[in-house]
Amino acid sequence: MPLSRFDPARVPDATGKHLVFHCQSGRRCGPASARMAAAGFAGDIHRLSGGMAAWMAASGPVER
């Protein structure tokens, strides 16, 4: 979902799950995670360091 359309209210209930924000380079997920926290999300928020580019470079599994 593009950052310009990100709405924390549309994030499914993450109770008991890990909430991980990611983007291509790891930069846009910062503002998204800040919006989520500002909306009152009390759980842990994780950001994928280096984004999907770094994940794929490290041969992380990708499902398309």
Task: Report pLDDT digits (tens) over 44-63.
Answer: 889 998 999 999 999 999 98
Evaluate whether 41 touches 18 at the Cβ level (below 8 Å): no
pTM of the predicted structure, to 2 decimals: 0.74
Residues 23-43 have a mean pLDDT of 89
Nearest CA to 43 among 23, 13, 63, 64? Answer: 13
Evaluate whether 56 touches 31 at the Cβ level (below 8 Å): no
Residues 14-27 have a mean pLDDT of 85
